[in-house]
Structure 1
Amino acid sequence: MDGDDDFGAELAASLDPDSWVWLPGVDYAAGWRAARRTADELNGLLGLCGVERSALRAIADTDAQGGPVVRLVGIAEGWMSLDELLCLAAHARGKSA
């Protein structure tokens, strides 16, 4: 739904069939829309911090009950950028890893 087809093959290998079987009467679209808003905000923040979408991005999804889920997917460079950002944030809050 969000144009992240290039990650499809990687995600397909780790899918649990119980997590993608849709249940009758569950409003998956509402959960996905909520997750999409959060994913868009997170992608915006990552972009402001200099993290390229091709390196790390948030993707909207739902769980088996239709609840919003946001997944982070990326390459090693993206994860290293996130690690650096989280260490800087921890340091700014007076915490060390």
Structure 2
Amino acid sequence: MFGPEDGAFGIGSEFDPDAVLWVRGVDYVGGWRDAKDATAELSAALVRAGVDIDGASVVAQTRADGSGVARLVWPAELVRAVAELVRRGTHLGEAG
């Protein structure tokens, strides 16, 4: 969805490895990669559905256990558009 080169990770924010606790044997990179891939999938699906994702930002992170987390910062209009998309999708699957 976003990468370091597009500014979605915050201008001037640099990763500080001393600011986090690292646990030996936990695959943090794998979790981060999973979160990054998931956000790319979400972005592609929203674009295919015709949702304007301009102004959206996301940060791929990991939890202490190494699982991936995506922190989404979306404008209210985007949240409403996704909510409407979900409502319409839910109605499509209902027996009528």
**Structure 1 and Structure 2 fold alike (TM over 0.5):** yes
The equivalences for 1:1-97 within 5 A come to 2-3=3-4, 4-6=8-10, 21-25=20-24, 26-56=26-56, 58-94=58-94
Q: CA deviation at 1:70?
A: 2.4
Contact 1:40 1:58 (C-alpha < 8 Å) held by counterparts: no
Root-mean-square deviation (CA, aligned residues, Å) is 2.9
Q: CA deviation at 1:76?
A: 0.5
Q: TM-score, normalised by structure 1?
A: 0.68
Q: Deviations over 1:52-95 (max 9, x none)?
A: 23244554221122111123320011001011101101111118
Q: TM-score, normalised by structure 2?
A: 0.69
Q: How many residues align?
A: 85
Structure with more helix by fraction: 1
d(CA) in 1 for partners of 2:64, 2:10:
23
Percent of aligned positions with the same letter in both sequences?
A: 32
